[in-house]
Amino acid sequence: MKVEINTTLTFENLLESSKRITQHIGGTRSGKTYAILQYLVVKGLQERQEITVVRKTVPSLKRTVMKDLKDILKTSGIHNSESWNVSDKTYTLQNGTTISFLNTDDPEKLRGVKSDILFIDEASEIDEESYFQLSIRCSGEIILAFNPTISPYHWLRQMDDCERYVTTYLDNPYLPDEMVKGIEELKEKNPKYWTIYGKGEYAPNDKAIFNFQIVDEIPICELVAFGMDFGFANDPTTLVAVHRSGDMLYLRELMYDTGLVTNDIIKKLDSFNVGKTTEIWCDSADPRLIEEIYRSGYNAKGVKKGPDSIKFGIGVLQNYGICVDKKSQNLINELYSYQWATDKYGYVLDKPEGGLDHLIDAARYVAMSRLSIKQQNKGKYTLTFR
On whether both 224 and 261 belong to a single domain, the answer is yes
In a domain, 383, yes or no: no
Per-residue pLDDT of the chain (386 residues; tens, 9 = 90+): 677 888 999 999 999 999 999 999 999 999 999 999 999 999 999 999 999 999 988 888 999 999 999 999 999 999 999 999 999 999 999 999 999 999 987 667 787 889 999 999 999 888 888 899 999 999 999 999 999 988 888 899 999 999 999 999 999 999 999 999 999 999 998 888 899 999 999 987 878 899 999 999 999 999 999 999 999 988 899 999 999 999 999 999 999 988 899 999 999 999 999 999 999 999 999 999 999 999 999 999 999 988 889 999 999 999 999 999 998 989 998 998 898 887 776 677 888 887 789 999 999 999 999 998 555 555 554 445 55
* Residues 184 and 271 both lie in one domain: no
15 and 142 inside one domain: yes
Distance CA 198, CA 189 (A): 12
Rounded to whole angstroms, the Cα distance separating 30 from 286 reads: 40
Last residue of a domain, one of 141, 165, 198: 198
If you compute the radius of gyration of the chain from its CA atoms, what whole number of angstroms results?
24
Boundary (domain end) residue, out of 198, 228, 251: 198
Q: Where are the beta strands (DSSP E) in the chain?
A: 21-26, 50-55, 84-85, 90-92, 98-103, 117-121, 142-146, 163-167, 213-215, 222-229, 237-245, 248-257, 279-282, 299-302, 321-325, 340-342, 348-352
Domain with residue 305: its CATH number is 3.30.420.280
175, 269: one domain: no
> Does residue 156 share a domain with residue 221?
no
Let me know whether 186 and 37 are in one domain: yes
Is residue 241 located within the same domain as residue 95? no
d(CA 153, CA 8): 30
Asked whether 370 and 319 are in contact (CB, 8 A), the reply is no
CATH number of the domain enclosing 130 = 3.40.50.300
**Of 198, 231, 260, which one is at a domain's C-terminal end?**
198
> How many separate domains does the chain show?
2
Is 345 inside any structural domain?
A: yes
Tell me: do 273 and 370 sit in the same domain: yes
Phi then psi dihedrals of residue 317, to 5 deg: -65, -35
Residue 360 in domain: yes
123: in domain = yes
Q: Which domain holds residue 36?
A: 9-198
Burial (Cβ within 10 Å: 0-12, 13-18, ≥19) of residue 247: exposed
258 and 153 part of one domain: no
Per the domain annotation, does 263 fall within a domain?
yes
349 and 230 part of one domain: yes
Q: Which helix (H) or strand (E) holds 291?
A: helix 287-295
Pair 42, 168 in one domain: yes
Residues 326 and 187 grouped into a single domain = no
Reduced to 3 states (helix: H, G, I; strand: E, B; else coil), residue 343 is coil
Whether 3 maps to a domain, the answer reads no
* 206 in a structural domain: no
Contacts of 233 (CB under 8 A, 6+ apart): 59, 258, 259
51 beta partners:
99, 117
Cα 299-255-217 angle, rounded to 5 deg = 100
**Angle formed at CA 106 by CA 101 and CA 294, multiple of 5 degrees:** 145
Is residue 1 assigned to a domain? Answer: no
